Amino acid sequence: MKDVNSVKGVHNTSTMSSARKRSIPQTQSSSYLELYMLEKEKERLLLERNKMSVKMGIINNRLEEIEMETQRLAKIKGLDRDFLEKELLKAKEENVVWKSVSLNY
């Protein structure tokens, strides 16, 4: 089941708090509440940024591993990089469509 966070584009939607609209007039005590809410949002965003940087590091490491493995396999087969890139482009241009078959048990 999808939740609100998994729906594409929801994170960019402005909310009442991000639009700075309130149902009651602002008082001095509500300023403290707003400061608290802003601080919590800042902490959440910093934590999310740290998680994203870790994830980017993992992705970059995996891309490097894939590149090294591709080079190793190309050397074993005696293929050069230009040949591999041409074959990949040709496969994309041909728009290879896989046929699917449904299996009934």
pLDDT tens over the chain, length 105 residues: 456 566 666 666 666 556 666 666 666 667 888 889 999 999 999 999 999 999 999 999 999 999 899 888 877 777 666 776 777 777 777 765 666 777 777
CA-to-CA separations, 95 to 9, 13, 75, 86, in angstroms, rounded:
29, 36, 27, 14
Domain annotation covers residue 82 = yes
For residue 17, what pLDDT is reported?
59
- What are the CA-CA distances from residue 72 to residues 58, 63, 65 (Å)? 21, 14, 10
At 8 the three-state DSSP class reads coil
Q: Which domain holds residue 34?
A: 28-89
11 inside domain: no
Please state the pTM of the whole predicted model.
Answer: 0.48
Furthest-apart CA pair in the chain: how many Å? 75
Residue type, 93: E
Sign of the Cα pseudo-torsion (50, 52, 1, 104, in order):
negative
Cα 83 to Cα 77: distance, rounded to the nearest angstrom: 12
How many domains is the chain partitioned into structurally?
Answer: 1
User: What's the pLDDT score for residue 27?
Assistant: 66
